[in-house]
């Protein structure tokens, strides 16, 4: 009987946390977070970290275990999370993973892609261009060199844009041509459960979540992090817009509006990424957990 990793995924604000807790309680197991921004302990409100009562409802791992000042890559996550999952399978046949960071989910379920070594001077030049010409200039270059990757990439993240561009420039080939070449063998089976809804519903849930974050103190949280704004972890929707407010570039009203707009764009990119994966079993976000549990038990013979 194989061990089973249940991966709960979908766009932001769709209800992944609640479902993952229901599944963890039913299967009496632990939850691995695959949300790359919930790793950082200083970013609580703006990353929608589960509430204390939710964290107490089932054991969680990889939530607020790092400082924003620590460098932490998807490769670090793959190594540490696989080690944790392997350990959990000594006690449980089922482990739950939840999150909306497609690359981090892929790292666990399939493994990361192999990329060629790149001359460090290429990255240095791109970082120089970022400072002098801005992110828009880099985004346009990526669109020209790899339009396929541009469609699904988090192009608001300069680290991701520069990483793709340096591969394009070093090899003369699109970054996307190196993706999905070597799927790692895992010692467990994965069933992917996706939650979704009509786009208007997703957008409304996002807007209401942002309003709740503001009400809960997001502005104050961002203000404390403002002196560290140049850290990669803080180049995140919900914080970078408020940094512009603190700089006097935007009003608070404009910053909040931009948070909502950029979160909606992020959700759209998440759906574009996930819908390319034919292994995902999609459910409406209102589907009762017991229906999803029955589906998992039936298909995985649990």
Residues of the binding site for ATP: 10-17
CA distance 61 to 165: 33
Q: Binding-site residues, please?
A: 10-17
Measured at the alpha carbon of residue 229, what is the angle toward residues 224 and 235, in degrees to the nearest 5? 115
State phi, psi for 4 to the nearest 5 degrees. Answer: -120, 125
Element (H, E) at 195: strand 189-196
Contact by Cβ (8 Å): 63, 33: yes
For the beta carbon of residue 245, count every other beta carbon within 10 angstroms: 21
Question: CA angle, corner 103, sides to 146 and 21, nearest 5?
Answer: 150
Look up residue 90 and give its DSSP letter.
Answer: T
Residue 123 CA to residue 163 CA, distance in Å, equals 8
Among candidate residues 36, 37, 34, the one with its CA nearest the CA of residue 17: 34
Give the residue numbers of the binding site for substrate: 12-17
Pair 177, 188: CB distance under 8 Å:
no
Give dist(CA 244, CA 241) in Å, integer: 5
Residues whose CB is less than 8 angstroms from the CB of residue 64 and which lie 6 or more positions away in sequence, other chains included = 38, 39, 40, 41, 44, 49
Distance CA(13)–CA(229), nearest Å, equals: 25
């Amino acid at each position: 009987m194989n061990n089973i990793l249940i991966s709960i995924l979908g766009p932001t604000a769709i209800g992944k946390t609640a479902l993952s807790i229901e599944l963890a309680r039913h299967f009496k197991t632990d939850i691995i977070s695959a949300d790359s921004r919930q790793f950082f302990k200083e970013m609580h409100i703006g990353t929608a970290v589960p509430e204390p009562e939710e964290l107490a409802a089932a054991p969680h791992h990889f939530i607020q275990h790092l400082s924003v000042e620590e460098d932490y890559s998807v490769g670090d996550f793959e190594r540490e999370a696989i080690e944790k999952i392997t350990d959990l399978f000594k006690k449980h046949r089922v482990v739950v993973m939840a999150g909306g960071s497609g690359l981090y989910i892929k790292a666990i379920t399939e493994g990361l892609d192999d990329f060629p070594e790149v001359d460090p001077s290429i990255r240095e030049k791109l970082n120089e261009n970022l400072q002098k010409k801005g992110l828009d200039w880099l985004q346009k270059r990526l669109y020209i060199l790899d339009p396929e990757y541009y469609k699904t990439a988090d192009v608001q993240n300069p680290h991701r844009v520069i990483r793709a561009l340096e591969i394009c420039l070093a090899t003369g080939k699109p970054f996307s041509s190196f993706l999905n070449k070597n799927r790692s063998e895992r010692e467990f089976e994965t069933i992917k459960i996706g939650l979704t809804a009509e786009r208007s519903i997703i957008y409304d849930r996002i807007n209401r979540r942002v309003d709740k974050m503001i009400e809960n103190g997001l502005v104050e949280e961002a203000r404390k992090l403002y002196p560290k704004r140049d850290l990669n972890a803080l180049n995140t929707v919900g914080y970078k817009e408020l940094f512009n407010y603190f700089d006097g570039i935007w009003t608070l009203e404009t910053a909040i509006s931009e948070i909502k707009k950029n979160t909606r764009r992020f959700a759209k990119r998440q759906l574009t990424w996930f819908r390319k994966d034919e292994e995902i079993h999609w459910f409406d976000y209102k589907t009762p957990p017991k229906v999803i549990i029955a589906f998992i038990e039936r298909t995985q013979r649990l």
